[in-house]
Structure 1
Amino acid sequence: MEIQSEKQASASTESDMIIAQDDISRPDITALLEAHFTALFVSIKANIRLLDVSALRHPSITIFTARNPASEELMGCTALKQISPIRGELKSMRTAAGHQRKGVAGALIRHILSVAKLRAYQEVILETGALEEFAPARALYARYGFVTCDGFEGYDNTPSEAKSVFMIYYIK
């Protein structure tokens, strides 16, 4: 699919899902994000920095969801934060229970990268965990062209940041 404008990029169709800009106040999105935060803070005790639901409402952040086209069931969500006119940050990627390993996360990443290109970003950055529990996420991002990089946007590479991995995708 060739996307010619950001308006067109606000919704794309994979064979079994629709990806579109969405409203974070929808209860299913809020519930999925709350589950995401709980898993990261309670189960894994990660040291990565998250934006809570209220922070994700900031005008610099665009929420995208993947939904079942027939039932509108939420399959996953993510956010793209504008850091500068040339840089975006992928935030809060989460696949809903029952939809893991079905291509949802990959579809959301492809969509975010398409939108970033339309916005004329030169790069998209992200932070994820360094713990073993995050190995599948790091591998997923690497499959889509993200490479590790130094800390960014207020992060540094001190020992307190040792539980974070920073990655960057260069827009071509």
Structure 2
Amino acid sequence: MTIAIERVRVSTPALADFIAAHHADMVGTAPPESQHALPMDGLLAPGVRLFAAFDDGAPVATGALARVGDGHEELKSMRTDPQLRGRGIGRTILAFLIEDARSRGIRRLSLETGADDFFAPARMMYTRAGFVECEAFGRYAPDPLSTFMTLPLAPRGESVGGRTR
């Protein structure tokens, strides 16, 4: 398997289906008002940077960065093809997104994910990448069905929280 991560500026039928499957995965994990995944058109909107990992032209993972405020972005639409989970693809695209944000001078990344057991592997992946739980941010309201996490970033060579990047 050879993965290529690319910025997506225009939808394709395969990518639209992949994002639709992301929404379908979440049915039953929380009521609609507690599900915050962006639809395809939202992922292509100004202020959002959508990336996809492809294997032989087929999307196998997605992730996006959406502007929250000055120097603060949010991870959106993180998904790995369910049949390929556990192979490190999610960690690879997460590391790619963190580096993309850092390279553009973003100082903080945050995310909202579900509190349901379905999302436990994602929460563990984010924790291992250095994210910590935080209060609701941006337009989010506190929600017991959501877990909010954040990661301070610093440009390469600067220290955040005692760690040099």
Do the structures match in fold with TM over 0.5?
yes
Residue 169 in structure 1 maps to residue 151 in structure 2: yes
**Structure 2 counterpart of 1:103:** 88
Q: What does the per-residue CA deviation read over 1:29-68, in whole Å, with 9 as the maximum and x for residues that have no partner?
A: 110110111121x232352322222222211111101112
**Structure 2 counterpart of 1:50:** 37
1:21 is displaced (CA, Å) by 0.6
- Picking from 56, 73, 76, the partner of 2:61 is 76
Residue 123 in structure 1 maps to residue 108 in structure 2: yes
Q: What does the per-residue CA deviation read over 1:125-168, in whole Å, with 9 as the maximum and x for residues that have no partner?
A: 000011111111100110111110000012232xxx11000000
- Map of 1:1-172 to 2, 5 A cutoff? 16-40=2-26, 42-46=27-31, 47-68=34-55, 71-157=56-142, 161-172=143-154
**Structure 1 counterpart of 2:157:** none
Aligned-pair RMSD on alpha carbons?
1.5
**Structure 2 counterpart of 1:6:** none
1:24 is displaced (CA, Å) by 4.5
1:28 is displaced (CA, Å) by 1.3
Cα separation, 2, equivalents of 1:74 and 1:49: 21
**Percent identity (aligned):** 29
- 1:113 aligns to what SS in structure 2? helix
Aligned length: 152
Cα separation, 2, equivalents of 1:48 and 1:32: 17
- 2:49 aligns to what SS in structure 1? strand
Q: Which amino acid aligns with 1:93?
A: M
- 1:101 aligns to what SS in structure 2? coil
Cα separation, 2, equivalents of 1:54 and 1:130: 26
User: Could you list the runs of 5+ residues in structure 1 that have no partner in the other structure?
Assistant: 1-14
After superposition, the Cα gap between the structure-2 partners of 1:142 and 1:24, relative to the gap in structure 1 and judged at 3 Å, is farther
Cα separation, 1, equivalents of 2:150 and 2:123: 11
Cα separation, 1, equivalents of 2:132 and 2:47: 24
User: Could you list the runs of 5+ residues in structure 2 that have no partner in the other structure?
Assistant: 155-165
- 1:45 aligns to what SS in structure 2? coil
The answer to whether the Cα contact below 8 Å between 1:24 and 1:63 also exists between their aligned partners in 2 is no
- 1:65 aligns to what SS in structure 2? strand
Q: Any runs of at least 4 consecutive aligned residues in structure 1 with deviations exceeding 6 A, and if so which? A: none
- 2:82 aligns to what SS in structure 1? coil
